[in-house]
Structure 1
Amino acid sequence: MFGIFIQHHVSKPNPPKKLLCNEGNLLSQIDGKGTVYTRVGGLSCNYDKGTLIISDKSNRVALNIE
């Protein structure tokens, strides 16, 4: 039972602390000591007038990050 509890908490997705766009790659800050980012696969991004625009092959989402 303890193993199932641990597996559930380890495999649970955590929302990113911060999103960054670097050279068209969407990066997500992950938990841990220090500042560590991982690339979000399948998505691209850019900035337009203070708005982060995230795109995949068929959809676009805009986030106001000012």
Structure 2
Amino acid sequence: MSLGDRIGNKAEDLGGKAKEATGNVTGDEKLQAEGKTDQAKAGLKDAVEDVKDAVGDAADKLKGVFKK
């Protein structure tokens, strides 16, 4: 995963935390839910990128095995 993707996902997570906190302070349940949703989306994106990285690493290892 690129550094830009990691930064974007972290920004989305932090934005979600801020929305949730603001919703908690103001009693705005919709804002709380939006914040939690943003955090969940960021976590899901990170998980997908981790899987992509793992598949890429496995493919690289296989290429090395077949080159021998």
Q: TM-score of the superposition, structure 1-length normalised?
A: 0.30
Identify, as 1 or 2, the structure richer in strand. 1
Larger radius of gyration: 2
Q: TM-score of the superposition, structure 2-length normalised?
A: 0.29
